[in-house]
């Protein structure tokens, strides 16, 4: 998908129309959530080493995220089948969007800078031993060689209030440019 024009991006204050998505496990998930804040994350493809590294940083601090009354919803541009192979053990709601409908709606881009930006290279190097360990020790499948939707997706994060207003958003400039857990908790406070 080519870079989306900046006008397509959602700004703070934009109201998200209520909808119900279906997780890869078949469970319904509402955006907005009337009970809590929603952290809507757009990641790259199922099995993405950089995404896995980031998501495991969230898992390590999962108690803090849930204590802040945040519902995590993670979207990948992969099929349900690929997601079941690579993301079955994630503790949050995982959405498969192989047609990138949500990506387009939220103005989430794909571009060569996802991997060409030098700031992504550190994460790429850090993800190699993490992925090798997962494949060898945990017997998880390696990242796909030709992922659905390609490798050039950029991350994006949205914090959505109970009434559907976008409280904060971040469009990644490279593959490892997303909110840290500390940033998310600070925004939610």
What pLDDT score was predicted for residue 6? 45
Q: How confident is the model at residue 59 (pLDDT cuts 50, 70, 90)?
A: very high
Are the beta carbons of 153 and 45 closer than 8 angstroms? yes
Within-domain flag for 37: yes
Within-domain flag for 33: yes
What pLDDT score was predicted for residue 3? 44
What pLDDT score was predicted for residue 142? 60
Within-domain flag for 148: yes
- Report the C-alpha gap between 9 and 111 in whole angstroms: 15
- List the domain range (segments joined by +) for residue 96: 6-188
Within-domain flag for 61: yes
**Top-ranked range on mean pLDDT: pick from 1-5, 89-93, 122-126:** 89-93
Of 25-39, 137-151, 171-185, least confident by mean pLDDT is: 137-151
Instruction: Note the residue count of the chain.
Output: 189
Within-domain flag for 13: yes
Place of tokens 């939707």: 149
Q: Residue 146 sits in a domain of what CATH number?
A: 3.40.30.10
What pLDDT score was predicted for residue 7? 44
What pLDDT score was predicted for residue 4? 43
Question: Over the chain, what is the mean pLDDT?
Answer: 84
| Residue 110 in tokens | 């794909």
pLDDT > 90? residue 41: yes
- Report the C-alpha gap between 108 and 101 in whole angstroms: 10
Within-domain flag for 106: yes
Report pLDDT digits (tens) over 9-37: 787 778 888 889 999 999 999 999 999 99
| Residue 12 in tokens | 């703070």
Are the beta carbons of 33 and 164 closer than 8 angstroms? no
Are the beta carbons of 117 and 152 closer than 8 angstroms? no
Q: What average pLDDT score do residues 119-132 get?
A: 71
pTM listed for this prediction: 0.84
What pLDDT score was predicted for residue 11? 76
Q: 70: which strand partners?
A: 37
What pLDDT score was predicted for residue 39? 97
Q: What average pLDDT score do residues 105-116 get?
A: 82
pLDDT > 70? residue 144: no
Helices and strands (DSSP H and E) totals, the chain = 7, 7
Within-domain flag for 1: no
Task: Give the chain's domain count.
Answer: 1
Report pLDDT digits (tens) over 155-172: 999 999 999 999 999 999
Q: 76: which strand partners?
A: 96
Within-domain flag for 97: yes
What pLDDT score was predicted for residue 138? 67
């Amino acid at each position: 998908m080519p870079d989306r024009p900046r006008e397509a991006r959602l700004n703070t204050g934009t109201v998200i129309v209520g909808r119900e998505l279906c997780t890869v496990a078949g469970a319904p998930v509402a955006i907005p959530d009337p009970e809590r804040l929603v952290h809507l994350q757009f990641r790259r493809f199922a099995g993405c080493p950089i995404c896995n590294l980031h998501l495991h940083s969230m898992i390590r601090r999962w108690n803090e995220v849930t204590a802040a009354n945040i519902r995590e919803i993670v979207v990948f541009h992969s099929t349900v089948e690929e997601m079941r192979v690579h993301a079955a053990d994630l503790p949050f709601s995982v959405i498969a969007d192989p047609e990138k409908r949500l990506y387009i709606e939220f103005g989430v881009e794909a571009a060569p800078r996802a991997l060409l930006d030098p700031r992504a290279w550190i994460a790429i190097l850090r993800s190699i031993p993490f992925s090798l360990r997962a494949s060898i020790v945990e017997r998880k499948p390696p990242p796909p060689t030709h992922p659905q939707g390609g490798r050039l997706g950029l991350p994006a994060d949205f914090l959505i209030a109970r009434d559907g207003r976008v409280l904060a958003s971040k469009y990644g400039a490279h593959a490892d440019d997303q909110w840290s857990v500390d940033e998310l908790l600070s925004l939610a406070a």
